[in-house]
Amino acid sequence: MKRLRLVNAWLATCALLLLAACGSDSEQPQPTTDPATRQILEQQEVLTGAADTTFALVLRSGDEPWQATVDNGETAEGESPWCTATVANTGETSTVQIHVTRNPEMGWRRAQLTLTQGEWHYVVTLRQHFAPQLRLRSTHIDVATDSTNAYVFVTANQEHTVTVPAEASWLKVESRMAEKWGGPTRPYATFIYRLRCEPNRGLGRAAELTIAAPGAVPVSVTVHQGPRTLRGQEEMRVDKPGELGTLLGSDPRKWRELRSLKLSGQLNDADMQALRTLLCPEVSWRWTNAEGNVVSTHHGIPLNLQQVDLGECSLVTCGTYAEKAIGTTLDAYVSRKPDALADGAFSITRTPLQRVVLPRGLTAIGHRAFHLCLELSEVGFPASVRSVGSYAFFNCPKLSQIHIPADSQLETLGDEAFHTGARLDEISYPATLQTGPDQGFKGNFMARRIHVKWLVPPALGRFGVNKTSVLCVPRGTAALYRAAPGWNRASEIVEE
């Protein structure tokens, strides 16, 4: 019995000590009275979505302020931290504001939040979910004329589909290979799609494939198959502005025999830049195999396009020629308005261009548009041209024929616009052309025959008709021109 009493006494003592301890704990101040904050501190983890997010932890203030630090892990040099925390200690509470930026990565992001106040010390792991994403190794794939395979590389963290447009009957998805998924730490993989292509017997063609996944922004890749070898004389219709580069392809070796090109349709800046590339005396070319893992560069591929007919074209603005496989020294072609040739349009060093027919609705020819076209011998203006920029045909030493029609609406000529450096066979100036002592046709007064339509001779400044030129004037005005300074220098003045 005595032993039993001792055991009972010992148990009672333990119970009293336990109750005292519990009472002490219940009186111990907690770091927060906010249920959401308490749950986070107990779980030591926060899971956020992929979007930009801000949330707060509400803590009890004490004698010392709360401190919050965030470890974002490894970040690139100069990159801002994606997770930040700020503390506002006010009154009885301290608020820790946590901001998480949108997750642009393919997988999870992790950061570690450390909270301290006196003896309190908490470490909370922040895990940010990833958004469904699709990424392409390349958005443009060039395929050789006779190639039967092309490869598209897609990195994705979601299952996805690849759609080939119905009109691209020459192209279909043949197979798909994929890396193994990386699991929780790397929830994405790279997929390799093998496409089957039919050999091309016509001009270049392209298909835009669409890759889509639930919740992800769709992406597209253009598969561009080059044309057959171009013949000496070709006609091409550009059905959609920007399409000329597609028709030509990305292999300039296919262009080497081309001498004469007639275009029709709407041409934008991208088409004009593609045409200018054709007019270079030589280009370089970067070849890449179908798998995209072998590259070689070929320099000095000769081109010899001599005649260009744009008579059935209209010009529109915008567009960028982006055939990165072809290298030139050309500046970008940038037009300012529709139906106008941009400044320097055909000013291409050592271009073999000899003859050009301009678009029938053209209204303006830019500054130095044909400057230093050393082989250019003939150009025809449509009646719609109203202005020719300064030095437009400056130093074109073989230019012997500039055709300006009788119904021309030409109004202004820039300085030295027709100062070709050669003697024209003949040239016509319409009555619409505005002149003055310090403006007007400061270009070519050396033509063998000069046709003018003014009923009253305009006053000339420091330029006059060449002494060997025949001046053709409107009927009934010969006497006026014979008495007008500068005009009366002509070897002969005849009415027509």
Kindly report, residue by residue over 356-399, the tens digit of the pLDDT.
Answer: 999 999 999 999 999 999 999 999 999 999 999 999 999 999 99
Predicted pLDDT of residue 30:
84
Q: Which residues of 126-147 are buried (b: 16+ CB within 10 A; e: fewer)?
A: bebebbbbbebeeeebbbbbeb
Tell me, what DSSP letter sits at residue 178?
E
Predicted pLDDT of residue 3:
52
Q: Which helix (H) or strand (E) holds 103?
A: none
Predicted pLDDT of residue 29:
72
Task: Specify the CATH architecture of the domain 35-74+81-128.
Answer: Sandwich (2.60)
Strands (E), 290-341: 295-302, 307-315, 326-327, 340-341
Count of alpha carbons within 13 angstroms of residue 346, beta-carbon side = 29
Distance CA 260, CA 494 (A): 39
Fold that domain 134-225 belongs to in CATH: Immunoglobulin-like (2.60.40)
Q: Under 8 Å CB-to-CB from 467, ≥6 apart: which residues?
A: 489, 490, 491
Whether 26 has a pLDDT exceeding 50, the answer reads no
Q: Under 8 Å CB-to-CB from 215, ≥6 apart: which residues?
A: 131, 132, 158
Mean pLDDT within 204-222: 97
Whether 436 has a pLDDT exceeding 80, the answer reads no
What does pLDDT average to over the chain? 90
Band (78; pLDDT cuts 50, 70, 90): confident
Q: What is the pLDDT of residues 270-329, one digit of tens each?
A: 999 999 999 999 999 987 776 666 678 889 999 999 999 999 999 999 998 878 889 899
Whether 432 has a pLDDT exceeding 90, the answer reads yes
Predicted pLDDT of residue 7:
45
Considering 116-120, 201-205, 440-444, the range whose residues carry the highest mean pLDDT is: 201-205
Q: What is the DSSP string of 417-485?
A: TT--SS--SEEEE-TT----TTSS--S----SEEEE--SSPPP-SS----TTPEEEE-TT-HHHHHHST
Of the candidates 392, 348, 345, the residue with the CA atom closest to the CA atom of residue 367: 392
Whether 72 has a pLDDT exceeding 90, the answer reads yes
What percent of the chain lies above the pLDDT cut of 90? 75
Residue, of 343 and 185, whose pLDDT is higher: 343
Distance CA 6, CA 13 (A): 11
Band (154; pLDDT cuts 50, 70, 90): very high
Distance CA 57, CA 44 (A): 12
Whether 18 has a pLDDT exceeding 80, the answer reads no
Least confident of 13-27, 49-63, 150-164, 255-269: 13-27
Mean pLDDT within 121-148: 94
Q: Which helix (H) or strand (E) holds 194?
A: strand 189-197
Distance CA 304, CA 323 (A): 20
- Give this prediction's pTM: 0.80
What percent of the chain lies above the pLDDT cut of 70? 90
Mean pLDDT within 182-202: 89
Mean pLDDT within 218-235: 97
Distance CA 472, CA 453 (A): 9
Predicted pLDDT of residue 27:
52
Residue, of 107 and 12, whose pLDDT is higher: 107
Distance CA 159, CA 351 (A): 51
Tell me, what DSSP letter sits at residue 275?
H
Residue, of 231 and 463, whose pLDDT is higher: 231
Of the candidates 92, 113, 95, 111, the residue with the CA atom closest to the CA atom of residue 103: 111
Can 35-74+81-128 and 134-225 be said to share one CATH topology?
Answer: yes
Phi-psi region at 416: left, alpha or beta (left = phi > 0; alpha = psi -120 to 50): left
Whether 16 has a pLDDT exceeding 50, the answer reads no
Distance CA 181, CA 156 (A): 10
Whether 24 has a pLDDT exceeding 60, the answer reads no
Distance CA 56, CA 90 (A): 14
- Domain ranges in the chain are 35-74+81-128, 134-225, 233-283+302-319+329-495
| CATH superfamily of the 233-283+302-319+329-495 domain | Ribonuclease Inhibitor (3.80.10.10)
Predicted pLDDT of residue 92:
85
CB–CB of 401/373 below 8 Å? no
Walk across the sheet containing 109-117 and list its strands.
45-48, 120-128, 109-117, 67-71
Whether 458 has a pLDDT exceeding 80, the answer reads yes
Task: Report the relative pairing of strands 53-60 and 93-100 from DSSP bridges.
Answer: antiparallel
Predicted pLDDT of residue 434:
84
Whether 486 has a pLDDT exceeding 80, the answer reads yes
Mean pLDDT within 253-269: 98
Tell me, what DSSP letter sits at residue 276?
H
